[in-house]
Amino acid sequence: MLERRVVVTGYGALCCLGIGVDTIWENLIAGKCGIGQITQFDTAEFKTHIGGEIPGFDPLKYFPEKEARHLDRFVQLAVAAADEAMAMAGLSPDPAAAGLNVKRIGSIVSSGIGGLSEMMEASKTLVRRGPGRIAPFVIPKMIIDMASGHISIRYGLKGPNFGVVSACASGCHSIGEAFHIIRRQDADIMLAGGAEASIQELCVSGFNALKALSTRNDDPQHASRPFDLNRDGFVPSEGAGVVVLEELEHARRRGAHILCEVIGYGATGDGYHITSPDPEGEGDAEAFRIAMGHAGIGPEDIDYINAHGTSTALNDKYETIAIKKVFGDAVKRVSISSTKGATGHALGAAGALESIFCMKAIETGIIPPTINYETPDPECDLDITPNTARRREVRIAANNNLGFGGHNAVVLYRKFE
């Protein structure tokens, strides 16, 4: 069976840098940072007071008020990103009425945490008021698969429909799995990506307990500093990214504009630790090798890597080891950046947002910068595009993501030819 080619025909996103891919990209390459003081709850008793909140998001622009009340924020964000992606791909809000076979269109839009806010509020209600006061929408608002579920319901999609949960690699894994679904002929179009609304009390206090978050509360704009010697943890943020993947001939037949091609996907496990990456970097390196094997390319063919680069001590160090292990001497010519200096860490949405940044780098020939880089770390000696965007032709870009539990994911994108 011939493996079908998979292309990208649309994308949509919102994060702390703005709503809509064009706005986000303009702010990103300008070196702006979207991190500020958390406003969604009182942080007085917390060690971390800062996060990346989406400016001006109004769910009533996307849903009637009653429907919005029945959706957790992470689902609202997922649907908003999907609306932009569908419109960019030239897909009707009612694909069946437009003559498309909706049995061949599916959705894998995932989350690392899902409706944790709903879970926390429902738990408070249960303790204070008893089981009879739990609302019927608690479970549907809470569970992670509802991002994909509501997207499929909104557009009447009947194809593969599920969520991938791999912590901070969820968005990247979702795109990779959707890529394979189309290649093996189980669908012609897939909406894929991730969404997260994790700026809430339980999430922040939990990550504080792990000593994973930055406590640079007096300087939020410079708190997230991937690969910098003085990094002190990641900054939590919210957001969503959704891409439309499509089989090449299907896209051509309907006259879709092709943005780039997906050419490889690697997924591995470290089998090492619940939070720390493998110090040898072998699991992440193997994910790169698998993705390159799918694509039929070598390390010397990759022009840009959007690194996971969380701004934590162990991630940035061990990711550097992994990249150097698989790229060897070719690492000297590849441009690398972590965009989390600007966006913070959107957990399960990170891989989707950063995949879109890879696509924009291919489209524009601009490498987004790693901002807030002040003091080099000799253990992170990569070309990380410090502080200022750089012009460079990008033919092939890689998105690399890691997740708690030892999950590794790499997706490769190529300029369409």
Active site residues: 168, 308, 345
Q: What is the token pair recorded at 190? A: 């897939």
| 241 and 288 belong to one structural domain | no
The DSSP secondary-structure symbol of 133 reads G
| 138 and 215 belong to one structural domain | yes
Reply yes or no on whether the pLDDT at 341 is more than 60: yes
> Domain range for residue 194?
6-253
Return d(Cα 171, Cα 13) in angstroms, integer: 12
| 14 and 93 belong to one structural domain | yes
Residue at a domain's end among 224, 253, 282:
253
Domain assignment of residue 195, yes or no: yes
Domain assignment of residue 258, yes or no: no
- 3-state DSSP: the chain helix, strand, coil percent, rounded to 5? 40, 20, 40
Domain assignment of residue 283, yes or no: yes
Q: Is the pTM of this model over 0.95?
A: yes
- 251, 104 contact by CB (below 8 A): no
* Alpha-carbon distance values, 312 to 105, 225, 301 (Å): 38, 9, 29
The tally of domains found in the chain comes to 2
Residue at a domain's end among 203, 222, 253:
253
| 273 and 249 belong to one structural domain | no
| 216 and 318 belong to one structural domain | no
Domain assignment of residue 1, yes or no: no
| 190 and 318 belong to one structural domain | no
Q: What is the token pair recorded at 215? A: 């406590």
| The pLDDT value given to residue 3 | 78
Over residues 100-155, the pLDDT tens digits come to 999 999 999 999 999 998 998 999 999 999 999 999 999 999 999 999 999 999 99
Over residues 344-377, the pLDDT tens digits come to 999 999 999 999 999 999 999 999 999 999 999 9
Over residues 56-82, the pLDDT tens digits come to 999 999 999 999 999 999 999 999 999
Q: Could you tell me how far CA 360 lies from the centroid of its own chain?
A: 14
Q: What is the CATH number of the domain that holds 346?
A: 3.40.47.10
| 20 and 130 belong to one structural domain | yes
| 182 and 309 belong to one structural domain | no
Bridge-based pairing of strands 304-306 and 396-403 is parallel
Q: Which three-class secondary structure state does DSSP give residue 128?
A: helix
Residue of 192, 108, 173 lying closest to 410 (CA atoms): 173
Return d(Cα 58, Cα 358) in angstroms, integer: 27
Bridge-based pairing of strands 189-196 and 105-110 is parallel
| 212 and 306 belong to one structural domain | no
| 246 and 165 belong to one structural domain | yes
Q: What is the token pair recorded at 154? A: 């909104």
Return d(Cα 104, Cα 108) in angstroms, integer: 13
Domain assignment of residue 259, yes or no: no
Looking at 130-235, which runs of residues are DSSP E strands?
Answer: 189-196
- 244, 8 contact by CB (below 8 A): yes
| 220 and 275 belong to one structural domain | no
Residue at a domain's end among 190, 219, 253:
253
| 69 and 114 belong to one structural domain | yes
What's the CA angle centered on 63, arms 60 and 68, to 5 degrees? 80
